[in-house]
Chain A
Amino acid sequence: MTATQVQPVLEVRHLSTCFKTDRGVVTAVDDVSFKLYPGETLGIVGESGCGKTVTSKSIMRLLPEHLSFQKEGSEVLFGGNNLSLASEDEMREVRGDRIAMIFQEPMTSLNPVFTVGWQLDEALGYHTTLDKAARRERAIEMLRLVEMPEPERRIGEYPHQLSGGMRQRVMIAMALCCEPDILIADEPTTALDVTIQAQILDLMNGLKQRLNTAIMLITHDLGVVAQVCDRVMVMYAGRVIESGTVRDIFHRPQHPYTKALIESIPKSGAREHGKRLPTIDGIVPSLFELPHGCRFEDRCTIGDKKCIDREPALEALDGREVRCHFPLGDAR
Chain B
Amino acid sequence: MTSTNSALGKFLSGRGMRKLRRDRMALVALAVIGVYLLLALSVGVGLLDKGDVFDRAGPDTVPGAWGVQDGEKRLTDAEFYIEQVQRAARASNAEDSLAELRFGGLRAAPGTPAEVQAQVDDAWLAFDAVAAYEELDEDPEVASLLTTLEQKVEGLYAAPTGFAGAIHSLRLSLGTDRQGRSILFRALYSTKVAVQIGIVSALISVLIGTLLGAAAGYFGGWVDHMVVWLYSTFSSIPWIVLLMVLASMFRGGPFDGTLIPVYAAFCMSFWISPCRVIRGEVMKLRELEYVQAASAIGFGRIRILLKHIIPNTAHLMFINFSLLFIGAIKAEVILSFLGLGVKNEPSWGVMINQAKAEVLNGFFWQIGAATFFMLVLVLAFNILSDALQDAFDPKHVGSQ
Residues in chain A within 8 A of chain B (CB atoms): 60, 62, 66, 91-97, 100-105, 108-115, 117-118, 122-123, 126-127, 155-156, 158, 160, 171, 174
Contact = CB atoms under 8 A, between A and B. Distances in A.
Given A117-B3, A156-B3, A111 B290 contact: yes
B297 A113 contact: no
Interface in B286-331: 288-290, 292-300, 307-308, 311-312, 314
A103 to B, nearest CB: 5
Nearest to A118: B3
Contact of A93 (B288, B298, B308, B311): B298
Contact of B299 (A101, A103, A126, A160): A126
Contact of A127 (B289, B296, B298, B311): B298
B149 to A, nearest CB: 71
B92 interface: no
A111 to B, nearest CB: 5
Contacts of B361: none
Residue among A60, A114, A158 having the largest count of chain B Cβ atoms under 10 Å:
A114
Contact of B293 (A91, A97, A101, A156): A101
B140 interface: no
B312 A113 contact: yes
Contacts of A117: 3
Nearest to A174: B297
B289 A105 contact: yes
A320 B311 CA distance: 49
Interface of B: 3, 6-7, 220-221, 288-290, 292-300, 307-308, 311-312, 314, 399-400
Contacts, number: 73
Given A156-B6, A158-B7, 16 more contacts: A62-B292, A91-B298, A92-B299, A92-B300, A100-B297, A102-B293, A103-B296, A108-B290, A110-B293, A111-B294, A111-B311, A112-B290, A114-B311, A115-B7, A127-B297, A171-B293
Contacts of B299: 92, 96, 122, 126
Contact of A92 (B7, B290, B298, B308): B298
Contacts of B6: 156
Contacts of B288: 108
Contacts of B298: 91-97, 126-127
Given A92-B298, A92-B300, A96-B296, A160 B399 contact: yes
B173 to A, nearest CB: 48
A67 to B, nearest CB: 10
Given A60-B296, A111-B294, A103 B3 contact: no
A173 B241 CA distance: 57
Contacts of B400: 160
A200 to B, nearest CB: 16
B285 to A, nearest CB: 10
Nearest to A66: B221
A111 B295 CA distance: 12
24 contacts: A62-B292, A66-B221, A95-B297, A96-B298, A97-B298, A103-B292, A103-B293, A104-B289, A108-B289, A109-B289, A110-B290, A111-B294, A111-B308, A111-B311, A114-B311, A118-B3, A122-B299, A126-B298, A126-B299, A127-B298, A156-B6, A160-B399, A160-B400, A174-B293
B302 to A, nearest CB: 12
Contacts of A91: 298
Contacts of B289: 103-105, 108-109
A122 B293 CA distance: 13
B293 A62 contact: no
A101 B3 contact: no
Contacts of B292: 62, 103
Contacts of A94: 298
Contacts of A174: 293, 297
Contacts of B3: 115, 117-118, 155-156
Contacts of B300: 92
A311 to B, nearest CB: 33
Contacts of B296: 60, 62, 95-96, 100-101, 103
Contact of B297 (A96, A114, A155): A96
Contacts of A93: 298
A216 B253 CA distance: 66
A110 B307 CA distance: 13
Contacts of B293: 101-103, 109-110, 171, 174
Contact of A126 (B220, B297, B308, B399): B297
Contacts of A105: 289
Contacts of B311: 111, 113-114
Contacts of A115: 3, 7
B297 A109 contact: no
